[in-house]
Amino acid sequence: MTDQPAPTGTDVTAQPNVARMYDYFLGGNHNFAADRAAAQRVLEIFPETGVAAQTNRHFLRRAVRYAAEQGVRQFLDIGAGLPTQGTVHEVVRAVAPDARVVYADYDEVAVAYAQRLLTDTPGTAVVQGDLRQPEDLLAHPDVRGLLDLDRPVAVLLLAVLHFVPDEDDPSAAIARLRDATVPGSYLVLSHLTLDGIPPELAERGQAVYRNSSAPLVPRTHAETSRFFNGYDLVEPGLVETTQWRPDAESAVAQSHGYAGVGIRR
Whether the CB-CB separation of 138 and 180 falls below 8 Å is answered with: yes
CA 21 to CA 3: how far, in whole Å? Answer: 13
| Averages of pLDDT over each 10 residues, the chain, 265 residues | 45 81 87 94 94 91 97 96 79 95 90 87 94 96 97 97 96 98 98 91 93 92 98 97 85 80 97
Predicted TM-score of the model (pTM): 0.91
List, as one string, the DSSP characters of 184-240: T-EEEEEEE--TTS-HHHHHHHHHHHHTSSS------HHHHHGGGTTEEEPTT-SEE
**pLDDT at residue number 252:** 59
The domain spans of the chain are: 51-264
**pLDDT at residue number 253:** 61
**pLDDT at residue number 143:** 97
CA 161 to CA 259: how far, in whole Å? Answer: 12
**pLDDT at residue number 255:** 79
Q: Looking at domain 51-264, which of 3.40.50.150, 3.40.50.620, 3.90.79.10, 3.40.50.300 is its CATH number?
A: 3.40.50.150
**pLDDT at residue number 171:** 97
Give the torsion sign (CA, 199, 213, 129, 52).
negative
SS3 of 179, please?
Answer: helix
CA 125 to CA 103: how far, in whole Å? Answer: 6
H-state helical runs in the chain: 18-25, 33-45, 49-69, 88-93, 108-117, 134-139, 141-146, 170-180, 199-210, 221-225
